[in-house]
Amino acid sequence: MAGFSKVNSVKANIMKKTLIVAILALTGVAVFPTFHPLSLRAADTIPAQYTDAEFWRFINEFSEPGGAFQYENFVSNEVSYMDVLPDLTRIVKPGGAYLGVAPEQNFTYVAAIKPKVAFVLDIRRQNLLELLMYKALFEMSPNRVEFISRLFSRQKPVGLAANANAETIFKAFDQMKGDPELYKQTFQAIKDRLKQHGFKPVGDDEEKIDYVFNVFLRGGPRMDYTFASVSPNNGLPSYYNLMVATDGRGKNWAYLDTDERYEFVRQMQQKNLIIPLVADFGGTKTIKEIAKYLKEHGSVVSVFYISNVEDYLESSWNNYRANLAALPADESTLLIRFLPRANTVLARIPDLTPRWPGIYWH
């Protein structure tokens, strides 16, 4: 664990950079160093939706063998994840491709920047299965109240308006207890929905989906990163907290805070445009396959949410740098990097250091 002096140093550097960014933004000067965008790029031909066959082809042909991670990652532990969104949405162009990692925080980023397609990568196959669970729940749930009811296996509170904000909705659900019968019905509906899409379980896939879904039943809206999992630290935000958080300027960007954001993500799910993959950021296949596909279709990466995955890439740093360099990007392409115990910050692909920078990027 980093000492307080080291954490304070990181925070001080972040504050300095944030001040510089704010000053440059106010004066109209480019916030990031010079970057040479792709030239003579063909028109973006990413389709408006994918067939089920295309969706599974991405998963089966782009994925790498699954790996292990010491934490379950049922839910995010990044309370600062919204802090970058005011700048991110100002800088990033609409459309393009979104890349991300881990579970539900991707939905908030997708709802904010509105890409044409989203690829969510994780070294654990269980994360892919959790995102397939989410896909089925989105498709089955016409509004946020229905979605939250199914996600946590809680009956809908009486008198709750469908257009209420996230805080009102989650406060109402906070009083509801888990319903085992609703859980059984919903789990069967998840399996049925995925089979309608042509899902062919491999090994214990369905048991793993049941395992993840059961955690949401038991944990409820107050579940956090430590629930049913070991954790690197304590005092982490719950699902409830993550959905009622703000960007530090008073705005809640959560995908479950408004009907419009929820519906945008839901439509992407219905159109098979949020594609979960098993991938190693320092591997040799998945990111390069995505890069090749995007280049073939004249598209660029708008955002790559990398969290703090770089902390674990010491032995494969060169592969990781090569993977990012292969991605089609332009002057507005950004990385979202999480600095544990510090903040969430924006970065540029060309600014990656030649050598692994160490844990927590210090």
Domain ranges of the chain: 41-361
CA distance linking residue 148 with residue 295, whole number of Å: 37
Confidence band for 42, pLDDT divided at 50, 70 and 90: low
For the record, the structure tokens of 91 come out as: 């800088």
**Backbone region of residue 140 per phi and psi (left: phi > 0; alpha: psi in -120 to 50; beta: other values):** alpha
pLDDT tens, residue by residue, 160-173: 988 999 999 999 99
Position 34 pLDDT exceeds 50: no
- CA dihedral over 111, 113, 114, 118, signed as positive or negative: negative
Q: Residue 20's pLDDT is what?
A: 39
pLDDT tens figures, 306-335: 999 999 999 999 999 999 999 999 999 999
How many degrees, rounded to 5, is the angle at CA 136 between CA 133 and CA 139? 150
Q: How many Cβ atoms are within 10 Å of 224's Cβ, its own excluded? A: 21
Q: Which residue has the tokens 């214990």?
A: 204
Closest to 118 (Cα-Cα) out of 100, 137, 136: 100
Residues 58, 275 contacting (CB under 8 angstroms): yes
Integer Cα distance of 21 and 18 in angstroms:
5
135 — pLDDT class (breaks 50, 70, 90): very high
Residues 158-214: pLDDT tens digits? 999 889 999 999 999 999 999 999 999 999 999 999 999 999 999 999 999 999 999
- The pLDDT of 133-143, averaged and rounded, is 98
- Give the closest residue to 39 by CA, choosing from 298, 321, 358: 298
How sure is the predictor about 234, in pLDDT bands with cuts at 50, 70 and 90? low
Could you give the C-alpha distances from 238 to 60, 224, 241, 312, in angstroms and in order?
33, 4, 5, 24
* Mean pLDDT within 245-256: 97
- The per-residue pLDDT for range 93-120, each reduced to its tens digit, is 889 999 999 999 999 999 999 999 999 9
Which H or E run includes 180? helix 180-196
Please tell me the pTM assigned to this model.
0.88
* Residue 307: per-residue pLDDT: 97
Distance CA 100, CA 335 (A): 10
Q: Which amino acid is at 188?
A: Q
Average pLDDT over residues 232-241: 83
Distant-in-sequence, close-in-space partners of 263: CB < 8 Å, separation ≥ 6:
none
Q: Mean of the per-residue pLDDT values for the chain?
A: 89
Residue 22 has pLDDT above 90, yes or no: no
**pLDDT number for residue 16:** 42
In percent, the amount of the chain with pLDDT more than 70 equals 86
**Which of 167, 168, 133, 132 lies closest to 152, judged by CA?**
133
Residues 6+ apart with CB under 8 A from 230: 70, 71, 72
On whether the CB atoms of residues 324 and 310 are closer than 8 A, the answer is: no
User: Does residue 232 surpass a pLDDT of 90?
Assistant: no
Report residue 350's pLDDT band, with 50, 70 and 90 as the boundaries: very high
pLDDT for residue 35:
39
Cα angle 25-30-35, degrees, rounded to a multiple of 5: 150
Instruction: Please indicate whether residue 310 or residue 13 has the higher confidence score (pLDDT).
Output: 310
Q: What is the pLDDT of residue 359?
A: 83
pLDDT tens-place string over residues 261-304: 999 999 999 999 999 999 999 999 999 999 999 999 999 999 99
**Greater pLDDT, 216 or 2:** 216
What is the structure's pLDDT at 32? 38
Judge whether residue 87 has pLDDT over 60: yes
Which pLDDT score, from 0 to 100, does residue 41 have?
Answer: 56
What beta strand segments (E) does the chain contain? 97-101, 117-122, 274-278, 301-307, 334-339, 343-347
> Mutual orientation of helices 125-140 and 144-151 as an angle, nearest 10°?
140
- pLDDT band of 227, cuts 50, 70, 90: confident
Helices (H) and strands (E) in the chain, counts: 13, 6
Q: Model confidence at 69, in pLDDT bands (50, 70, 90)?
A: confident
pLDDT at 2 (0 to 100): 35
Identify the residue with better confidence: 124 or 94.
124
Give the rounded distance of the alpha carbon of 237 from its chain centre: 16
Residue pair 88/113 in contact by the 8 Å Cβ criterion? yes
**What's the CA angle centered on 344, arms 23 and 135, to 5 degrees?**
130
